[in-house]
Structure 1
């Protein structure tokens, strides 16, 4: 039964604390956590996964003080009351919570004071937050550690390069005397021409209804028209177009993304969910996004 619940959670369809947190239902996750803590007489208590999920819910709601209280409780009482030992996931969730609230200096100090050795998850949380807030100092600090811990992870190089580019530091994007190129288009898909044509048509029609391409995510010195062409070719948009072509009207579209969903793809998918009357579920590196009727479950905070 546990495996079955986990399976539904990974497909965006389940309902317990961890599933609520993963699917952008942060209020529901915290509400259920409070109910759990009141049912001690029924021998129902949190475990390590529960606490990580609750901290993730706090991050989704920018509930900084509540997250600090919960983490402090884990350190003080977790082992004695529930057998919970703070793990790398707990610390990474706290760094994510602090970083998303733009408390990057506090997040860095938190890492320095950790009781265990910070790993890729902790430094990755700091790098992701630094990218969101375009903070070069902390992005460099985190990426230096990540390049040592996981040198083959291309996502870390992408996040640092994007931070440099948004900050106007074009000369800093070269890594080890090589220019790293990451391609999102798929020219070998047999439907590629049909996908591009559909995206162009949808983009034109949605512009009339208020859609404005977020070309700021293209951090290159190009004209607006070329930037629009680039964002229209993002892999998640191609996947979305493929889903629109190859699924029935009643079927939801499910997409998995190996990086953080960019602002334009997020905006584009919201419009599509309303424009095409389609339920769309996107799982990026951070969380699930449930798009329906022009609204995302993350509340545009991810």
Structure 2
């Protein structure tokens, strides 16, 4: 069942995903954690279905803060800020800590780790400069930062600054600087990619003529020439 759900995600088959949601409930498969975790990645653009799946995930894994954060992400994408605040209060009431996003890249047999806020990383100034340059280039070509993924009600400029410094973007920038031209960049991430990171990585793969492989918590993404096989639904 998990492999079928992943196939739906890869093919952007949202209607099939909705059908499978009903099938899972009828067959009593909603008690299987991998099934529900995979399902919510497919139906995240449907708030009502995502709420139902999240409720079941909370029952299966009441101490997993990542499930709450995923639901908050879905609400933020829909600009349902009151619901975002409600989920945050749930996290606080249950004394759960959000797991910070972290990305890893291997360069010359050494593993480098990145988080969005890291004052002690000696590479940050250089990485921020490159990302700012790429962001300007992307905006000239029609890119609009997907600031809806930011779970705080801030002004647009601050939201843009936050999304530009997500850990995956930092790892990609590090790979561009420290690998040979044309070399494939391979990254791992402990959370699901946000919409903006996915879009930006597609652009970078095309603009720099690089293949970029990203393994996140749910699946692989293979970016090449501005395209990812997931079809922008993951």
Which bin holds the TM-score, normalised by the shorter protein? 0.7 to 0.9
1:101 lines up with 2:15 in the alignment: yes
Partner secondary structure for residue 132 of structure 1: coil
CA distances 1:64-108 after superposition (whole Å, capped 9, x unpaired): xxxxxxxxxxxxxxxxxxxxxxxxxxxxxxxxxxxx32764x444
Task: Name the structure with the higher helix share.
Answer: 1
Separation of aligned partners in 2, 1:130 and 1:281: 23
Query: Is residue 127–residue 139 contact of structure 1 (8 Å, CA) maintained in 2?
Result: yes
Instruction: Report the alpha carbon displacement of residue 179 of structure 1 after superposing the two structures with TM.
Output: 7.9
Instruction: Report the alpha carbon displacement of residue 253 of structure 1 after superposing the two structures with TM.
Output: 0.3
Query: Is residue 171–residue 187 contact of structure 2 (8 Å, CA) maintained in 1?
Result: yes
* Corresponding residue for residue 197 of structure 1: 129
* Corresponding residue for residue 292 of structure 1: 224
Which of 272, 278, 281 aligns to 2:213? It is 281
Query: Is residue 43–residue 50 contact of structure 2 (8 Å, CA) maintained in 1?
Result: yes
Query: Is residue 131–residue 163 contact of structure 1 (8 Å, CA) maintained in 2?
Result: yes
Q: Normalization by structure 2: what TM-score?
A: 0.77
- Of stretches 262-271 and 182-191 in structure 1, the one that deviates more from structure 2 is 182-191
Matches within 5 A, 1:1-302: 53=3, 56-62=6-12, 100-101=14-15, 104=18, 106-114=19-27, 118-135=31-48, 138-165=49-76, 166=78, 167-168=80-81, 169-173=83-87, 174-175=89-90, 176-177=92-93, 180-184=97-101, 185-187=116-118, 188-302=120-234
Count of residue pairs brought into register by the alignment: 213
Task: Name the structure with the higher strand share.
Answer: 2
> What is the RMSD computed on CA atoms of the aligned residues?
2.7
* Corresponding residue for residue 48 of structure 1: none
Instruction: Report the alpha carbon displacement of residue 191 of structure 1 after superposing the two structures with TM.
Output: 1.0
Separation of aligned partners in 2, 1:204 and 1:117: 45
Query: Is residue 186–residue 192 contact of structure 1 (8 Å, CA) maintained in 2?
Result: no
Which one scores higher on RCO, CA 8 angstroms, separation ≥ 6? 2
Partner secondary structure for residue 193 of structure 2: coil
Separation of aligned partners in 1, 2:226 and 2:30: 42
Query: Is residue 102–residue 129 contact of structure 1 (8 Å, CA) maintained in 2?
Result: no
Query: Is residue 256–residue 282 contact of structure 1 (8 Å, CA) maintained in 2?
Result: yes
Gaps of 5+ in 2: 102-115
Instruction: Report the alpha carbon displacement of residue 128 of structure 1 after superposing the two structures with TM.
Output: 2.9
Separation of aligned partners in 2, 1:281 and 1:263: 16
Instruction: Report the alpha carbon displacement of residue 159 of structure 1 after superposing the two structures with TM.
Output: 0.8
Distance 1:204 1:132, change over 3 A: same
Which 4+ residue blocks in structure 1 deviate beyond 6 angstroms? none
- Of stretches 107-116 and 206-215 in structure 1, the one that deviates more from structure 2 is 107-116
Query: Is residue 146–residue 156 contact of structure 1 (8 Å, CA) maintained in 2?
Result: yes
Distance 1:131 1:240, change over 3 A: same
* Corresponding residue for residue 107 of structure 2: none
Q: Normalization by structure 1: what TM-score?
A: 0.61
Partner secondary structure for residue 44 of structure 2: helix
Partner secondary structure for residue 254 of structure 1: strand
Rg larger for? 1
